[in-house]
Every structure is written in structure tokens, then in C-alpha cells.
Amino acid sequence: MKVNIAVVGLGYWGPNLVRNFVTVPGASITTVCDTNPATFQKIKPFSSIKTVRNINDVLRDKTIDAVAIATPLSTHFILAKKAILAGKHVLLEKPMTQTSIQSQELIKLAEKNKRILMVGHTFIYSQAVRQIKKIIKRKDFGQVYYFDSTRINLGILQKDSNVIWDLAPHDFSIINYLFDTKPISLLATGSHFVGKKYEEIAHIVIKYENNINAYINLSWLSPVKIRSIFIGGSKKMIVYDDIQPSEKIKIYNKRIKTTENNITPFSPAYRSGEIIIPNLEQKEALLTEIEHFVECIQMNKKPLTGGLEGLKVVKLLEIASESLKTNLEVIIK
Ligand SMILES: NC(=O)c1ccc[n+]([C@@H]2O[C@H](COP(=O)([O-])OP(=O)(O)OC[C@H]3O[C@@H](n4cnc5c(N)ncnc54)[C@H](O)[C@@H]3O)[C@@H](O)[C@H]2O)c1
């Protein structure tokens, strides 16, 4: 069965969804929808795709099986809810919704109406993140100490969210996927300079059970673009540089060793060995994500990044907002 898809929202991200959907054999992209008709020129090369300005025209169309929603965050809940109620499967961009109550409602609605609800946590479909999961599970990586992410550039300031709600969903979803552990506390701090309302720079520290700490540095006001994640282990360390076209992951055989009699590391032993660069399949993460969405619809499978995974991320975002507001570390129950 071919799945007929409509993409809703043709701003920055939507055209990437269209470009990938057209290459998936099991899918046929029939319609795009955007309230701003000027965006339709972005899909000019695909002349057979119908353009509409109102989502109701998509939802009324019985030939459309699924919608991929890439509109601003403040519209996610209402558009996804309408789509599920109209009998469509939904791929909803990150972050899932503005509140966890809304996410819970969408999960229930999708279950009740037997529709696939998937969230666009794209990094979970990247070869690099999947490879990292395998590496840190190996005994020779040792105990994981920290996750240290820098996600900064001169970014597109969002109209309806701060930098945490825009960029942290990537790190939160990666952490949830990589580590089988629960957060204990979260501290977030941030500032705005250009706008009046939404933080443009933020730092987050999350403490997890098993003694893993996550440090996340986010900015829309950086002169250079950096997308790096360092994961430190007791025996090895990983550097993941997502900007690199190839050689995205390097595994460093480096560590600091102290002996029992040497608890204060006055003279620690530094171990420095080879660097391994795993070979990764060159495939766009978004294409893997979209193929998975189509397969979930065709086979009635549970998505890897379904509503519950989306909800987990939204909960962390809410806790980060609470910490920003109170300037306090929030203990997570
Ligand atoms: N998965 C990823 O890696 C990734 C990357 C970038 C953005 N995103 C997400 O994609 C979403 C869109 O981000 P963007 O940067 O493309 O935003 P954008 O502002 O560039 O584009 C949003 C588009 O939606 C349209 N729109 C708004 N309300 C609409 C409605 N009710 N019906 C139809 N169209 C409507 C706007 O006219 C605009 O063209 C966000 O949720 C963002 O977080 C995800």
C-alpha cells in the first residue's frame, strides 16, 4: 500500500520533508499546505504536488493518509489534534507540543483512533547517534561520566519559543535514547539581548541517576556554528562533530587513572592511545526517519520516537522553563 502524504508548513524545515518524502518508494506526496502562498515556490520542481492554504482542505481529502506537520510550535497541538480526529496519521515536528498535558491528550487521541503518532526527533535516526549508542554500551568504554553538548550558531530566532524549546529537544531526545537512566535534577539559566521575551542563550545541567551529568550549551547568538557532543567515559571518550560531512565520530582511547593510594590526583596517570574513526553509512537522518514513519503506517508498528518519547522531551522542557523562571535547580520527582 502506498501512503499518501501531505506536508503542512513550508518554511525552513517543511521543504526538507518534501525533498525526502518524494524519494521514498512507499510514499506519495500529493499535497502541501501553508498559510503563506509565497512558500509554494519552494516546491516548484515538484509540479504534480497540489498546494492548499488551509489545513481543512487536507483533512477533508479522503485520499490523504498522513500529514507531516512542520509549523511553529504554538500550532502543533491544534493541527495534530485536528489531523488525528480527521483520521490521519501524524508526523509532528519537535518539540511535540507547548505543554505535557497537550502531549498526553494527543497520545490518548492517537491510541483511541488507532493512528500512528510520531515525533520528529531526527537525531535518533542518524547513523552517528546510533553508532554512539553501540560504543557506549561496550565494556571497553567503561562507565559513562558526562554528556557535553554545544549547539550554537547565529540562529533563526523563533517567534513563539526560546532557544531551549528550539534546540534542547535534540539533546534531550539523544540523551533519552542513549542512556538508560532517569534525571534527578535540572538547572537552567539563560538570557535575551536582541528580543524582549525569549532567551537566546542558555545553559542547562541535568544530573542523572548512575552519576551521569549532562551539560548543554545553546545559543542563537554565536558567530560560528558548532554542533558537537563530547561523551566522556572512564576508559574512552567520544567526540561527535555533526558539522563534519564525514568522520563525524572519533573515539579517543584517553583517560585519567588514579590508584587507590592516589585518591587526590596529584600525580595521575594519563593514558593516551589511538583514535578510532568508525565508518558511517552516508544517509540523511531525515530520510531514515521518514522511511520509518511510512513503515510504521504500513505495518502498524510502534514508532521509535512516538508520542511517549515526545512527551518525555516536553516534560524536560517544562522543567527547564521552571528553572529559568525561579533561578533554581529543580528536583525531578
Ligand atoms: N527535526 C529537525 O531537525 C528540525 C529542524 C528545524 C525545524 N524543526 C521544527 O519544524 C517546525 C517548523 O520550523 P521552521 O523553522 O520550518 O519554521 P518556519 O517559521 O520557517 O516555517 C513554518 C511555516 O509554517 C507555516 N504555517 C504557520 N501556521 C500554519 C498553519 N496553521 N497551517 C499551515 N501552515 C502554517 C508558516 O507560514 C511557515 O511557512 C518547528 O516545530 C521546528 O522546531 C525541526
- Is the predicted pLDDT of residue 262 greater than 70, yes or no? no
- pLDDT tens track for 183-228: 999 999 999 999 889 999 999 999 999 899 999 999 999 999 999 9
- Is the predicted pLDDT of residue 98 greater than 70, yes or no? yes
Q: Are residues 162 and 272 in the same domain?
A: yes
Q: Are residues 101 and 128 in the same domain?
A: no
Host domain of residue 87: 3-123+285-305
- Is the predicted pLDDT of residue 66 greater than 60, yes or no? yes
**Whole-model pTM?**
0.96
Q: Tell me what pLDDT residue 210 has.
A: 87
In 25-180, where does DSSP find H-type helix?
A: 55-60, 73-85, 100-112, 127-137, 163-178
Q: Are residues 90 and 185 in the same domain?
A: no
- Is the predicted pLDDT of residue 265 greater than 80, yes or no? no
Q: Are residues 46 and 152 in the same domain?
A: no
Q: Kindly give the distance from the C-alpha atom of residue 22 to the centroid of ligand 1, in angstroms, as a whole number.
A: 19
72 touches ligand 1 (CB under 6 Å)? yes
Mean pLDDT (whole number) for 300-328 = 97
Q: Tell me whether residue 310 is in a domain.
A: no
How many domains does the chain divide into? 2
Neighbours of 119 (CB within 10 A): 33
Catalogue the E-assigned strands of the chain.
Answer: 3-8, 27-33, 50-52, 66-69, 89-93, 117-120, 144-154, 183-191, 201-208, 213-219, 221-233, 237-241, 249-257, 269-276, 330-331
Q: Are residues 234 and 300 in the same domain?
A: no
Q: Are residues 153 and 238 in the same domain?
A: yes
Q: Tell me what pLDDT residue 264 has.
A: 63
- Is the predicted pLDDT of residue 91 greater than 90, yes or no? yes
**Residue 40, amino acid:** F
User: Which residue, among 321, 322, 319, 323, has the nearest Cα to 332 in the 3D structure?
Assistant: 319
| Distance in angstroms (rounded) separating the CA atoms of residues 309 and 179 | 13
Q: Are residues 237 and 292 in the same domain?
A: no
Strand partners, 219: 152, 201
Q: Are residues 175 and 323 in the same domain?
A: yes
Q: Tell me whether residue 271 is in a domain.
A: yes
CATH number at residue 294: 3.40.50.720
- pLDDT tens track for 161-170: 999 999 999 9
- Is the predicted pLDDT of residue 296 greater than 80, yes or no? yes
5 touches ligand 1 (CB under 6 Å)? no
Decide if 316 contacts 172 (C-beta within 8 A).
yes
Specify the residue with its C-alpha closest to ligand 1, atom 3.
122
Q: Kindly give the distance from the C-alpha atom of residue 23 to the centroid of ligand 1, in angstroms, as a whole number.
A: 21
169 touches ligand 1 (CB under 6 Å)? no
- Is the predicted pLDDT of residue 155 greater than 90, yes or no? no
Q: Tell me what pLDDT residue 105 has.
A: 98
Decide if 163 contacts 200 (C-beta within 8 A).
yes
- Is the predicted pLDDT of residue 267 greater than 80, yes or no? no
Q: Tell me what pLDDT residue 269 has.
A: 72
CATH number at residue 276: 3.30.360.10
Q: Are residues 95 and 148 in the same domain?
A: no
91 touches ligand 1 (CB under 6 Å)? no
Helices 14-21 and 285-299: angle between axes, nearest 10 degrees:
60
Q: Tell me whether residue 210 is in a domain.
A: yes
Residue 170 CA: which ligand 1 atom is closest? 3
259 touches ligand 1 (CB under 6 Å)? no
